[in-house]
Amino acid sequence: MAAFVYLAICLACGVLAMQWLLPGQRALYRLWLGLCLGLMAMMWLPALVAFVLRFSVAGHLWALGLLALLMALCWLARDRRTPLRRWGGEDRRDLRLLVVIALPLTLLGAYLQFTHNLRTEGGALYVGQSTYGDLALHTGIITSLRDARFPADYSILPGARLSYPFLADSLSTTFMLLGCSLQVALVAPGTLMMALVFSGYLLLALRMATRRRAAALAALLLFINGGLGFLYSFDMMGVSLGTPGANALQSGTWLQRLRTILDGWYQTPVNHAEFTQYNLRWSNIIADMLIPQRAFLAGWVFLLPCLYLLYDGLRPRQRNVRAFALLGVMAGGLPLIHTHSFLALGLASAGWLVWDLFRRRPLAPWLVYGGVVLVLALPQLVGFTFRQSGAEGFLRVQFNWVNNSGGAGLRDGYLWFWIKNVGLPFVLIVLSLFEKNEKHRFMYTSAFAIFIVAELVLFQPNEYDNNKLFYVWYALCLVPASEYAFTLWDRLRGLRARPLLGVLAGVVFFLSGALSIARECVSNVQAYSPAAVAAARYVEQDTPPHSVFMTSHADHLNPVSALAGRTIVCGPGLWLHWHGFEQELSLRQQEIDRFYRDPQANLPVLQKYGVDYVLLGPSERNLGRVDQAALDSGFTLVYHDAQDTYRIYEVPEG
């Protein structure tokens, strides 16, 4: 209950601050912007306190004091000249559209948040297909940040600063500190953030679009995206063209193809597991981004209002400097929430800045915006982002994203790669570029500033992660593309086959994305067995919070780190390799392997990392030959379950 009271205070303060600072904004937009601002305050203020004190309950109380101070500053900086814009008919019309589109998407998001984030069943914990891989990284950060002093270390690589954007996870830590279970701490803020993203994009599209129906279509195309991969699924359905594991998307016949999609492991016609076979890489944004990638979700919560404030501020003749300052504050807080969103916003801003330069428009608002961003973002970039992204393999040139994997040459023809992955919207984007529409060209200036850079430069070791830039390009392009689609639709008026063409277009637009979402709705994967949950509960309740464990380095579902939040010597390369720790990772993996083979001969490894406990479970046994007898004789057994699945040993002092 305390967590939700804390959340309500922050959100209410955000709404009130927005009313003071931007009273001229329409009421519905003010409400959305205020909720986003309040959530950002809830992420950032306790984290700032933790650099001086700790990320604790007491620290959160101090953060409320900072919030009160900021509210006083907002009141002093309030806009005294502009009358408060009241709720009007346009707000009511937009709200109805939110109810029709954003509300059902939010309900879907809430369901997926519940089923995909440690759902309890029979003493075990279940997740979905898309969260099976990365959720444990997030829960490990969430549980380890309790009572931590910032800057914190990776709990799965002690000694290495946690430079991964962690504020989305620390938000869940706040919920845990204030009395929520780990599952509620995941689901509650996750659902709120999804509601803000769904509503926020629709409101942004409504601000950009000339026609409301174009904004509605843009929102649907963004969130039910998928491309033309469904053609592979239904091509020659009467003949089985593959087997499970090889050409699996086309294995089986007729309804078996549908069962493959719904029951198989990444067998949907988007982001298919067999990359080299089909080259389908355009993930559905709900199934593969907003649900499993919490930093991406949080980044979009704030990226969308930043894009709105920037677009809204650039269009009128009289530019509101106060709005640009607020934009700078929200943008400046992005790096430790989601670095790719910050980068995408920077590229979009650069595109619009060039537009203004060519038209010789006043640059004072840009100086305010850029100055505030520089002051707020630079410490984050220097202290965190650049420390990690400076590692080898982060920044490199590669043309055409994953279609040119490793720079080995294009797998698909350039245009065909984008057409089959993005689908008909890509065709509409290309065709609409030829129209003489000043407003659309203004939107495309920022969108293609992102696209061109993302097509030429990779910003992480995992080349696929550039999709976090491409989705922002796609979101910005969808408004002019949707307006162009309705221009074509209107020109077909009087054609008797027009309704049939509309149905066919809907199938092409949404079938692949809908199949991907349907797969996630039915996916159900056990992540932690009852024995693993029981072992984590013991560690949580009966070991010191800052104790260090020796465990396997090969288990991404490690109950000690992921559920109990304890520090382990080394986590899995599944994450750490992509975070730039290859050399340190290899060394620690070798030390762990040696220890489990011969504990007594490798006691210095325990001393080197300050290990307090040793875990022996299924993953440790899978490392190879484990000398359990040496563990039993040389260490104190403090926990084991009835089936002896997990054993925990305490390391003797000295």
Same domain, 181 and 308: yes
Whether residue 555 is found in the same domain as residue 630 = yes
**Residues 183 and 237 occupy one common structural domain:** no
pLDDT for residue 617 is more than 70: yes
Mean pLDDT score across all residues of the chain: 95
pLDDT higher than 90, residue 284: yes
CB atoms within 10 A of CB 398: 18
Inside any domain, residue 147:
no
List pLDDT tens digits, range 172-214: 999 999 999 999 999 999 999 999 999 999 999 999 999 999 9
Q: Element (H or E) spanning 582, and its range?
A: helix 582-597
Q: Is the pLDDT of residue 579 over 90?
A: no
Number of domains in the chain: 3
List the Cα angle 231/235/238 in 5-degree steps: 150
Domain boundary among 360, 390, 420: 390
CB 595 within 8 A of CB 408: no
Please write the tens of the pLDDT for every residue from 343-385. Answer: 999 999 999 999 999 988 889 999 999 999 999 999 999 999 9
With respect to residue 48, please indicate whether it lies within any of the assigned structural domains.
yes
**What band does 315 get if pLDDT is binned at 50, 70 and 90?**
confident
Distances (CA, A) of 328 to 249, 318, 378, 397, 430: 46, 18, 12, 30, 32
Looking at the fold, whether 36 and 114 belong to one and the same domain comes out as: yes
pLDDT given for residue 481 in this prediction = 98
Q: In this structure, is residue 426 part of a structural domain? A: yes
Instruction: Report how far apart, in Å, the C-alpha atoms of 418 and of each of 281, 341, 535 are.
Output: 10, 22, 47
Judged against a pLDDT cut of 90, whether residue 142 lies above it is answered with yes
Q: What is the pLDDT of residue 316?
A: 67
Number of H helices, E strands in the chain: 30, 12
* In a domain? residue 133: no
Query: Last residue of some domain: 356, 390, 424?
Result: 390
In a shared domain, residues 188 and 329: yes
Closest CA to 515 of 242, 127, 230, 228: 230
- 222 — phi, psi (to 5°)? -70, -45
Answer yes or no: do 178 and 327 share one domain: yes
Record the pTM. Answer: 0.96
Q: Does 495 have pLDDT greater than 90?
A: yes
For residues 227 and 172, state if they share a domain. Answer: no
In a domain, 625, yes or no: yes
In a domain, 54, yes or no: yes
Q: Is residue 153 part of a domain?
A: no
The token pair that represents 22 in the structure block: 């931007």
- Show the domain range for 579: 529-650
